[in-house]
Amino acid sequence: LYGTTDSSKSGAAFPDDDLRRLLQQLVRTGGLLEPGHQSHDHDGLRASPSEVFALGELLEAGTLSQQELGARLGLEKSTVSRLAAGLEQRGWLTREREADDRRLFRLGLTDEGQHVAQRIGDHLRGHHTQLLNQLTPAERAGLTLGLTGLVRALKTHHDRAEA
Amino acid sequence: LYGTTDSSKSGAAFPDDDLRRLLQQLVRTGGLLEPGHQSHDHDGLRASPSEVFALGELLEAGTLSQQELGARLGLEKSTVSRLAAGLEQRGWLTREREADDRRLFRLGLTDEGQHVAQRIGDHLRGHHTQLLNQLTPAERAGLTLGLTGLVRALKTHHDRAEA
DNA sequence: AAAGATTGAGTTGTCAATCTTA
DNA sequence: TAAGATTGACAACTCAATCTTT
């Protein structure tokens, strides 16, 4: 995309064309989170990718406010609001007003929610492991190194835009 | 996500936890295509990420059917239908029924569409180059190697699911 | 039938405006 | 005022059903 054609016009010569192409392919194939599907079955349990992530974050953190969850997920507070409402309705999540500061909701997993999070987490782990096992050790090492740098670059870019 | 907690339960020990965490961060921060924004301004031109990609594909390919464009973009034919309609309305794209087989639309860029594609392409290239310049050479090399492998793995996974 | 494109319904997200508590 | 959460309007998808040409 925007790769081979007319590199003369931009004048500068972009040496990392290959890398850019790869990123685009990656984003498009998407498959990192089992793609295309906007929702997702594990053992008969249905959850959207964001719901899956949310359960994972809560399993890891114990309890979170909606804001905190939103920050971890990279989602708007409004999205988190509806997300949490949905999970609550399915009985996977509890929302209790904080005693100290009643503006906050404290989100936590129910017993069933923990069970679900655990099952889905295992499923995802397995899927990812299977994918990564198809890479050579050198590819895995390179990916780790490269993505670390890329995340750092994106983060500074993002932070700069906020200020 | 699903990383530190309770690795005992799955029994197998997942050695590539770091890599999985990185991928998740990447997907969430998203910023590869200038994130968060669901639409996107360049030089006063407004286009969604998919529209940007579509223009790029057409610039590269010359003409495409909607199916072909959808395949390259990883989008449903229905999405492509509305996408193409929108670009046509803005005067950036032409849709002509194929003479040989009138089921197909042959999509092509108008002169203005080519101009826009060129400008946006330059902008994107610049953005990506700027990002990648923040990486060390080793990180760039690793990223290229690792993503090549990952794209391959995702592709085989995807192909297997189709069959 | 089968293949390309379209249309309608539902999901997941954003952004902007509002409500509520501090 | 401002911070957390909610609501309403809209965008960009997917999926399933349909229309049109082969």
pLDDT tens digit string along B54-90?
999 999 999 999 999 999 888 999 999 999 999 999 9
Mean pLDDT across the stretch B29-43?
Answer: 55
Global pTM value: 0.80
B42 vs A: CB within 8 A: no
A85 vs B: CB within 8 A: no
What's the pLDDT score for residue B152? Answer: 84
A116 vs B: CB within 8 A: no
Give nucleotides in strand C with any atom < 7 A to a protein C-beta.
3-9, 11-17, 20-22
Distance CA B160, CA A8 (A): 40
What's the pLDDT score for residue B1? Answer: 40
Q: Which residues of B touch A80 (CB under 8 A)?
A: none
Mean pLDDT across the stretch A44-50?
Answer: 84
Could you count the other beta carbons within 10 Å of the beta carbon of residue A163?
A: 4
Q: Is A109 helix (H, G, I), strand (E, B) or coil?
A: strand
**A43/B106: higher pLDDT:** B106
What's the pLDDT score for residue A64? Answer: 98
Dump pLDDT digits (tens) for A121-135: 888 878 878 888 899
Q: How confident is the model at residue A70 (pLDDT cuts 50, 70, 90)?
A: very high
Protein CA at B71 to nucleotide C1' at D22, angstroms: 22
What's the pLDDT score for residue A6? Answer: 33
| Pair A21, B148: CB distance under 8 Å | no
What's the pLDDT score for residue A8? Answer: 30
Q: For A16, which of B3, B56, B132 is closest by C-beta distance?
A: B132
Could you count the other beta carbons within 10 Å of the beta carbon of residue B136?
A: 11
What's the pLDDT score for residue A10? Answer: 30
What's the pLDDT score for residue A147? Answer: 84
